[in-house]
Chains A and B, each alone.
Chain A
Amino acid sequence: MDDSLPSPGEPRREDQHRTPSPSTLLPKTQPSGFYGKHRLAAAISNLQNQINYLQEELDQLEEIGEASIVCKELISSVESIPDPLLPLSKGPTNINWDRWFKGAQNSRKRWI
Chain B
Amino acid sequence: MSVAELKARHVAATETVNSLRERLQQKRLLLLDTDDLIEVVAVAGYAKAHGKSSVSFGATDLVCCRTLQGHTGKVYSLDWTPEKNRIVSASQDGRLIVWNALTSQKTHAIKLPCAWVMTCAFSPTGQFVACGGLDSVCSIFNLNSPSDKDGNLPESKMLSGHKGYVSSCQYVPDEDTHLITSSGDHTCVLWDITTGLRTSVFGGEFQSGHTADVLSVSINGSNSRMFVSGSCDSTARLWDTRVASRAVRTFHGHEGDVNTVKFFPDGNRFGTGSDDGTCRLFDIRTGHQLQEYYQQHSDDEVRHVTSIAFSISGRLLFAGYSNGDCYVWDTLLAQVVLNLGSLQNSHESRISCLGLSADGSALCTGSYDTNLKIWAFGGHRKVI
**Chain A residues with a Cβ under 8 A of chain B:** 2, 5, 18-20, 22-23, 25-26, 29, 33, 36-37, 40-41, 43-44, 47-48, 50-51, 54-55, 57-58, 61-68, 70-75, 77-94, 96-101, 104, 107, 109, 111-112
Contacts and interface: CB of A to CB of B under 8 A. Distances in A.
A75 B47 contact: yes
B251 interface: no
Given A87-B380, A90-B384, A93-B381, A36 B40 contact: no
A22 B7 CA distance: 10
9 contacts: A33-B3, A40-B3, A70-B283, A74-B290, A80-B313, A85-B376, A87-B379, A88-B382, A99-B102
Contacts of B14: 20, 22, 25, 47
A111 B15 CA distance: 75
A98 B3 CA distance: 83
Contacts of B52: 75
Interface in B334-384: 359-363, 374, 376-384
A85 B360 CA distance: 7
A101 B362 CA distance: 11
A50 B17 contact: yes
A44 B283 contact: no
Most chain A beta-carbon contacts within 10 A, residue among B22, B361, B374: B361
Nearest to B100: A104
A84 B361 contact: yes
B6 A44 contact: yes
A2 B10 CA distance: 13
Interface of B: 1, 3-4, 6-7, 9-11, 13-18, 20-24, 27-28, 30-31, 34, 37, 40-41, 43, 46-47, 50, 52, 55-58, 61-62, 65-67, 102-105, 265-266, 268-269, 283, 285-286, 288, 290, 311-316, 331-332, 359-363, 374, 376-384
Contact of B3 (A29, A72, A92): A29
- A interface, by DSSP: helix, strand, loop or mixed? helix
A84 B27 contact: no
A92 to B, nearest CB: 7
- B interface, by DSSP: helix, strand, loop or mixed? mixed
A26 B13 CA distance: 12
B20 A83 contact: no
Closest 5 pairs (CB-CB, A-B) = A83-B313, A81-B313, A71-B46, A47-B13, A91-B383
Given A25-B10, A100-B102, A47 B360 contact: no
A22 B359 contact: no
Contact of B65 (A26, A44, A64, A111): A111
A55 B20 CA distance: 7
Most chain A beta-carbon contacts within 10 A, residue among B7, B18, B363: B7
A89 B384 contact: yes
A83 B312 contact: yes
A22 B10 contact: yes
B79 to A, nearest CB: 18
Most chain B beta-carbon contacts within 10 A, residue among A62, A71, A96, A107: A71
A44 B103 contact: no
B359 A37 contact: no
Given A65-B27, A81-B312, A36 B3 contact: yes
B17 A85 contact: no
Given A84-B360, A85-B377, A54 B17 contact: yes
Nearest to A99: B102
B31 A101 contact: no
B46 A68 contact: yes
B381 A19 contact: no
Contacts of A47: 10, 13-14, 16-17
Given A84-B360, A87-B381, A91-B383, A112 B21 contact: no
Contact of B311 (A65, A73, A83, A112): A83
A85 B316 CA distance: 8
Contact of A96 (B47, B65, B359, B383): B359
Contacts of B384: 88-91
Contacts of A87: 55-58, 61, 377, 379-382
